[in-house]
Amino acid sequence: MNQVLEWLQFVLAPQMINGLSIGVAVVLMALGLTIIFGLLDVINMAHGEFYAIGAYVAVAILGLGLSFWWALLLTPVLMAALGYVTERGLIQRVFHSKDRHTLTLLLTFGVAVVLEDVLKIIFGANPLRIESPIPGGTEMLGLFFPNYRLFVMGMGGLVIVAVWLLVFRTSLGAMVRAAAFDRYMSASLGVPVSRVYAGTFAFGVALAGVAGVLLAPIYSVFPTMGRDFVLIAFSVVIIGGMGSIKGAVLAGLLLTQIQSISSLFISPVWNDPLLFGIMVLVLMWRPQGLFGKLGHA
Amino acid sequence: MPDPHISSPRGPSALRVFTYLFFFGALCFALLAKWMGDVFFLRLATEALIFGGLALSVDLLLGRVGLLPLGQALFFGLGAYVSALVLKEWSASFWLSMGITLCVCAIAGLIGGVIAIRAKGVYFALISFGLAQVISKIVFNTRELGASDGIIGVPAVAVVPGVDSGDPLGFFLVTLVIILGLYVGLRYLMETPMGRQLSAIRVNEHRVPFLGFDPWRFKLMAFVGAACIAGVSGALYPMLRGFVSPELMFFQVSGNAVINVIVGGTGTLIGPLYGSVLLTGLRSVVGSFTAHHQIVIGLLFVMVVILFPRGLVGYLAPLLQNRLNLPTRNRGEL
């Protein structure tokens, strides 16, 4: 009995807490993806690259001699600007064609190819490291937790709550939901639809950027860092339901918990197949994902 | 997707002209290379044709059924691994390895299809992406398959007596014949009732059941067919290069195949072959100047998607068709 308790306290609990800190970042990524899809019907294949750019922007800001907190503050702003320009300059151009699903997916895929090489040219292909801004750890319940991971959890949780409030409790969010539900009707009611589109895309990109900054001190920063991470985010979005905010949060936390607990028993190599298996099972049971689309629920 | 049925039933077809031009051009190139005693460009052209086969399979799904596969490299890599294993471990027979590859890829296509076809539209794209990502990770971590190094030292094989896969010119011609066979077979299949069904599914999937057909079955058949085409093309790869690596299954390969299709012309079937040859050439040329050739390809791709979504052949074929139709139209007026 004692052994079981000890196992729960010293093996399972830390693993779950670690999973939670990554889970929060995954949710941020998935939120960006799902909001962009829910409103614009665009699968943003460049989302992983935007995540990587977020981390690199933080590296660059630190390189200027500013502190990590400035990086955390400035990165979303810069990323939002990048997202706005991308939407206005590129996505808008193919948005009104008949098969925009495929074209926008291909377009963002092309953007991803270009961005990855741009990162390689500017920063080189080698991994860079960021010093943890809050070193040390805290003891709780006889366990030792790295301070920074606790901070990531708190910060990520705050951002998620803020996104929720923004979308469901403000007039700006109401505009976004209205545009997602029926863009012609909302346009005739005075919603500046094309600006809402660009703004939403920018917002989603900024969320990816925040995830990049938050995880930069935990993992190292390299040009293809987004590729594996975005696969988790895509699975989360598919399981939670494309365009569903609730789905992204719940599925994100659930999947990362499954991942971190299962890695106690099986080799981490099997993490992705496990994730994928869950995704396929969910799709067989509910092809539209667990929850409905933005503006429809 | 742009309508691929640009060819008119009467008179010369522009797509046919493009087809003749492609294979005739390939033969001229082979003669020229033979005369110049070149090896490098023959090898490169063979590789372009092999990746052209992969692009062909992507076009079958994207251009003909309206499914965007983002993980077609899975079957390409599977074909390459199976063929490499058969050649190295069992018997250095071209036909045996081709036959086994075909069987394995058909089975894998059936399994993958049952999983992926359930999903529609963007979900299909993401599922196929995930499927390839997962399998490539497993291969990457399996020591029995050489893990990240892949399988090296695949022996050269005799295709027919006198033609060896180690002979650049001979193997180029073998690859050309196989790709031509795949292309002609696919073209023929598109004219059969099954091909018509696929077109119907692409245009409006919801109406197909009302005609008394099950779209799922036809989609699955197309998926298995695409898996086989990709697998056969992949099987040629280790014969050309003498090795296989997990990179063959990575997203880069799937993505490049999609780029080849879009740049060449979606749904035209010959366009992807042009796209593959053009872009493989471009990669090689730009790659000799800088390591960052992806940026050039990526920019070109973005420009094509925005400005010429029909791709090279899709853009040129109607122009040529008008030119070809001119005499008949004049005659009609007289």
Using pLDDT thresholds of 50, 70 and 90, give the confidence band for residue A74. Answer: very high
Alpha-carbon distances, residue A146 vs A139, A155, B20 (angstroms): 9, 15, 67
Q: What is the ipTM of this complex?
A: 0.82
Question: For residue A145, what is the enclosing H or E element?
Answer: strand A143-146
Quote the pLDDT of residue B330: 55
Quote the pLDDT of residue B116: 85
CB atoms within 10 A of CB A183: 18
CB atoms within 10 A of CB B262: 31
Q: Indicate whether A242 belongs to any domain.
A: no
- For residue A227, pLDDT over 50 is answered with yes
pLDDT (tens digit per residue) in B8-44: 445 568 888 888 888 888 888 888 888 887 778 888 8
Inter-helix orientation angle A47-63/A193-215, to 10°: 60
- For residue B57, pLDDT over 90 is answered with yes
Q: Give the mean pLDDT of A107-136.
A: 86
**B174: distance to nearest CA of chain A, Å?**
33
Instruction: Compute the distance between CA of residue B133 and CA of residue B144 in angstroms, rounded to an integer.
Output: 19
Considering CB atoms only, which of B123, B137, B302 is closest to A90? B302
Using pLDDT thresholds of 50, 70 and 90, give the confidence band for residue A135. Answer: confident
Is A114's CB within 8 Å of B121's CB?
Answer: no
Q: Indicate whether A21 belongs to any domain.
A: no
Alpha-carbon distances, residue B109 vs A276, B75, B82, B103, B191 (angstroms): 17, 8, 14, 10, 23
Considering CB atoms only, which of A93, A238, A272 is closest to B137? A272
The pTM score is: 0.85
Q: What are the chain B neighbours of A224 within 8 Å (beta carbons)?
A: none
Q: Which CATH number fits domain B14-326: 3.10.620, 1.25.40, 1.10.3470, 3.40.30?
A: 1.10.3470
Considering CB atoms only, which of B133, B258, B298 is closest to A114? B298
Q: What are the chain B neighbours of A276 within 8 Å (beta carbons)?
A: 130-131, 133-134
Domain that holds residue A119: 26-130+142-221
**What is the widest separation between alpha-carbon atoms in chain A?**
67
Is B306's CB within 8 Å of A235's CB?
Answer: no
Quote the pLDDT of residue A68: 87
pLDDT (tens digit per residue) in A264-286: 888 777 777 888 788 877 877 77
- The DSSP symbol for B65 reads I
Q: Give the mean pLDDT of A110-131.
A: 87
Instruction: Compute the distance between CA of residue B227 and CA of residue B67 in angstroms, rounded to an integer.
Output: 13
- For residue A1, pLDDT over 80 is answered with no
**A194: distance to nearest CA of chain B, Å?**
18
- For residue B295, pLDDT over 80 is answered with yes
- For residue B1, pLDDT over 70 is answered with no
- Give contacts of A 42-61 with B, CB under 8 A: 43
Question: For residue A139, what is the enclosing H or E element?
Answer: strand A137-140
Q: What are the chain A neighbours of B282 within 8 Å (beta carbons)?
A: none
Task: Say how many CA atoms lie within 13 Å of B208 toward its Cβ.
Answer: 19
Q: Indicate whether A97 belongs to any domain.
A: yes
pLDDT (tens digit per residue) in B72-108: 999 999 999 999 888 888 877 888 888 999 999 999 9
Evaluated on CA atoms B153, B248, B220, B264, the torsion sign reads: negative
Instruction: Compute the distance between CA of residue B187 and CA of residue B271 in angstroms, rounded to an integer.
Output: 13
Quote the pLDDT of residue B111: 92
Q: Indicate whether A274 belongs to any domain.
A: no
**CB contact, 8 Å: A113 with chain B?**
yes
Is B302's CB within 8 Å of A111's CB?
Answer: yes
Using pLDDT thresholds of 50, 70 and 90, give the confidence band for residue A295. Answer: low
Alpha-carbon distances, residue B291 vs A102, B228, B250, B257 (angstroms): 29, 33, 19, 20
- For residue B294, pLDDT over 90 is answered with no
pLDDT (tens digit per residue) in A235-273: 898 888 888 888 889 999 999 998 888 888 887 777 778
- The DSSP symbol for B246 reads G
Question: φ, ψ for residue B243 (rounded to 5)?
Answer: -150, 165
- Give contacts of A 72-91 with B, CB under 8 A: 90
According to DSSP, the residues that pair with B160 across neighbouring strands are B163
- Give contacts of B 181-240 with A, CB under 8 A: none
Question: What tokens does B35 get?
Answer: 């005369």
Q: What are the chain B neighbours of A43 within 8 Å (beta carbons)?
A: 122, 125-126
Contacts of B170 (CB under 8 A, 6+ apart): B159, B162, B163, B164
What are the counts of helices (DSSP H) followed by strands (DSSP E) for chain A? Answer: 13, 2
Q: What are the chain A neighbours of B299 within 8 Å (beta carbons)?
A: 110, 114
- For residue B124, pLDDT over 80 is answered with yes
Q: Give the mean pLDDT of B315-330.
A: 76
pLDDT (tens digit per residue) in B169-190: 888 888 899 999 999 999 898 8
Q: What are the chain B neighbours of A102 within 8 Å (beta carbons)?
A: 1, 62, 68
CB atoms within 10 A of CB A236: 30
**B89: distance to nearest CA of chain A, Å?**
27
- For residue B229, pLDDT over 90 is answered with yes
- The DSSP symbol for B154 reads P
Domain tally, chain A: 1
Instruction: Compute the distance between CA of residue A59 and CA of residue A212 in angstroms, rounded to an integer.
Output: 10
Q: What are the chain A neighbours of B131 within 8 Å (beta carbons)?
A: 276
Is A273's CB within 8 Å of B137's CB?
Answer: yes
pLDDT (tens digit per residue) in A82-93: 999 999 988 888
Is A43's CB within 8 Å of B125's CB?
Answer: yes
